[in-house]
Amino acid sequence: MAVEAIEAYPPTSAKPPLLLLRAEAYKAARQTARAAKIIKFFSANIRSPMRPKPAGTVLPSLIKSLGKEYPYPGVELQEQRAQDFLMRAKWKEARAEFEKLQGMLHEPENPHRQLAQLRIAQSRVQLKGPSSLVASLALTDFDCRCRAALRAFSDLSHQKKEKAKCLRRSIR
């Protein structure tokens, strides 16, 4: 009954809080595949400004109740989520998402795994970790090594600028 009422209301798909209600209604009606599809949509669209605040509390309980029926995000989606956090300078969240990605990829030579390792190290450095974390990585992928080298060069450039500022201040 609740499912039919929500489906009969046309703007449901345009309003995220109503989509969450639809997912809960599907779950109550034991239509878990349909509920999982809506939940996956919310999980994938984390940067969307239309995502309602209650989603943060409702989604974990719905995912837990769906259990094995919930289609967990694939590697590409996980990498996209992690990159989204990184681009928004949310270092803790980015590190956590890249750590999940690293756990999904088991081959040490995988370029996506190496990129995840690099991003984890960069996030830790941004969170006041030692800058040697990036340099200590054993990366075999050329692209990842280039990114690490650029990061190291950027850090050196930043350190030189800071030293120059300190010298100018001390001379005055």
Per the structure, the count of domains in the chain is 2
Same domain, 93 and 164: yes
φ, ψ for residue 46, nearest 5 deg: -65, -30
Calpha distance 98→120 (Å, rounded) = 6
pLDDT bracket for residue 160 (50, 70, 90): confident
Calpha distance 120→99 (Å, rounded) = 7
Q: Is 38 exposed, middle or buried (0-12, 13-18, 19+ CB in 10 A)?
A: buried
Same domain, 48 and 133: no
Same domain, 21 and 40: yes
- Give the tens place of pLDDT for each residue, 32-65: 777 777 777 766 664 544 455 555 556 667 677 7
Give the pLDDT confidence score for residue 131 in this predicted structure: 77
Same domain, 89 and 141: yes
Same domain, 64 and 82: no
Same domain, 39 and 63: yes
Same domain, 105 and 143: yes
- Give the tens place of pLDDT for each residue, 101-144: 999 888 888 888 998 999 999 899 888 888 788 888 888 888 88
- C-alpha radius of gyration, the chain, whole number: 22
Domain that holds residue 12: 2-69
